[in-house]
Chains A and B, each alone.
Chain A
Amino acid sequence: MPSQPVTVSSSNHLQSDIKDYSLPNASWSPVMVGLYNEFMEKTVDGSWTRLPGCWRSVQFLKEKDLARIAKAVPVQMIEDARLFLRIAEMERLGFEYVIFHNDSEKKCVCLFQPGPLLEGLPGIVHGGALGTMIDTTLFMTAYNSANAVFTGTMTITFKSPVILGSVVRLEAKVTGAEGRKVFLFCEAQSSDRTTLFAEASAIFFQMK
């Protein structure tokens, strides 16, 4: 039975501002929760950190970096702006995800469960939606491990389609640096790591 089309609309998000979205909710599948628990175990000794999932872009960048960006590429701020990943306030519909960062290994692991709003071909995740999660995971790695903010280049090879609602495990790491360039690599696999959905290489730029 087809479900009623859903639309993301504007809303009063004062409450949404302080909520951490990267925590288990009722829409998370048992596989997603299982992997989450596995990684939470790893945070106990401090080698891994869970990154909070915020509503606004300004919340995941440090104050001084926001100032540097504003100076480097001045632009008008839009009042009602919302982080792209927060396309739905309601759970299950859009990007359900949590990212864990490992500082010493300069890498991040992202657990991602794509919802029905992310469809491309019927029942399958849109290439741009998977690309968005890849870009985000690469960004969190580049920013937290190497203070790089802007994507310079990103090459994604899609190997296998992702079915809506299934769990994707992404892992991104810094592979090198040259001047202000930071080189990264990212793999998107099935939860049991037997299927490779996509792999990507990217160059991010550190700010001057």
Chain B
Amino acid sequence: RLFSSEKLTQRDHSLPNPSWSKDLRLLFDQFMKKCEDSSWKRLPSYKCESSQRVQDFKTHFLDPKFMNEQTVHGQLFTRSFEDGLGFEYAMFCNDAEKRIVCLFQGGPYLQGVPGFLHGGAIATIIDATTGMTALLAGGIVMTANLNINFKRPIPLCSTVVLNSQLDKVEGRKFFVSCNIHSVDGKTLYSETTGLFIKLDPDKRLK
């Protein structure tokens, strides 16, 4: 558990660093401009999430009998790499339109087939982006289903844009879709539909 003073010193990773490509920086600046009238908002991103929402999750949903001295203390998967090596990304959300844009640059340590991003790395950034879209709408949610159509392989170290949209809400179910495009919009890399479930406040996780 982090103390509040530790949160203040935690680095926000969704800000430019020297490893960001020109494409990524340009896109970031474009979206920061869109934030000026408050229609868009940049989402901060930390290694260890200590928000109230996450504290609530720990208190209400995690079964204490699973959490003992042996319990592994982790840190967010997508923020486990040194600058430029793994997932470099920044998410912007548009509340009114219930959508998120994620600007993503996949680094050299995300390789699958030589020269390309690993399918699992792509699935990870899709899960993170669609998950955030559902989370902003519904609070703490868990991934129930991801249906990914990989149309074209994504070259390692390239910059791409994920567009994620909340499609429908049915009780505790949040239906989301997401596309990945090249920066110029001409190449469609993948299409995804996903389902996230808001945790039942009356039940602990098994």
Which A residues have a C-beta under 8 Å from some C-beta of B? 1-3, 5-10, 57-58, 61, 66, 69-70, 73, 75-88, 94, 115-123, 126-129, 131-136, 139, 149-158, 160-161, 163-165
Indicate if the CB atoms of A128 and B125 lie closer than 8 Å: yes
Indicate if the CB atoms of B124 and A69 lie closer than 8 Å: no
- Shortest Cβ distance from B66 into A: residue: A163
What are 14 of the A-B contact pairs (CB < 8 Å)? Answer: A2-B73, A8-B85, A10-B85, A75-B153, A77-B115, A81-B156, A85-B118, A123-B71, A123-B73, A132-B123, A135-B118, A154-B119, A161-B142, A164-B71
Interface size for B (C-beta < 8 A) is 61
A residues within 8 A CB of B131?
127
A55 → chain B, closest Cβ, in Å? 11
A129 to B75 Cα, complex, angstroms = 13
Is B57 on the interface with A (CB-CB < 8 A)?
yes
A144 → chain B, closest Cβ, in Å? 15
Question: Are A128 and B78 also in contact (CB < 8 A) when A2-B2, A154-B123 are?
Answer: yes
Question: Are A82 and B111 also in contact (CB < 8 A) when A73-B153, A121-B57 are?
Answer: yes
A103 to B201 Cα, complex, angstroms = 46
Which of B92-100, B143-151, B169-177 is the contact stretch? B143-151
Is B82 on the interface with A (CB-CB < 8 A)?
yes
* Partner pick for B115 among A5, A76, A83, A153, CB 8 A cutoff: A76
- Shortest Cβ distance from B46 into A: residue: A5
Which B residues have a C-beta under 8 Å from some C-beta of A? 1-2, 47-49, 54, 57-58, 62, 66-67, 70-78, 80-82, 85-86, 108-116, 118-121, 123-128, 131, 140, 142-150, 153, 155-157, 205-206
A128 to B117 Cα, complex, angstroms = 14
Question: Are A83 and B111 also in contact (CB < 8 A) when A131-B127, A158-B145 are?
Answer: yes
A153 to B69 Cα, complex, angstroms = 40
Indicate if the CB atoms of A57 and B77 lie closer than 8 Å: no
The residue among A9, A121, A150 with the most chain B CB atoms within 10 A of its own CB is A121
A residues within 8 A CB of B121?
84, 128, 132
A120 to B77 Cα, complex, angstroms = 6
Indicate if the CB atoms of A117 and B77 lie closer than 8 Å: yes
* Partner pick for A132 among B2, B80, B118, B155, CB 8 A cutoff: B118
B residues within 8 A CB of A1?
73
B residues within 8 A CB of A88?
80
Indicate if the CB atoms of A118 and B144 lie closer than 8 Å: no
Indicate if the CB atoms of B116 and A75 lie closer than 8 Å: yes
Indicate if the CB atoms of A2 and B1 lie closer than 8 Å: yes
Indicate if the CB atoms of B127 and A128 lie closer than 8 Å: yes
Question: Are A128 and B128 also in contact (CB < 8 A) when A118-B74, A118-B77, A158-B143 are?
Answer: yes
* Partner pick for A57 among B1, B113, B128, B205, CB 8 A cutoff: B113
A108 → chain B, closest Cβ, in Å? 15
B residues within 8 A CB of A85?
118, 120
- Shortest Cβ distance from A131 into B: residue: B123
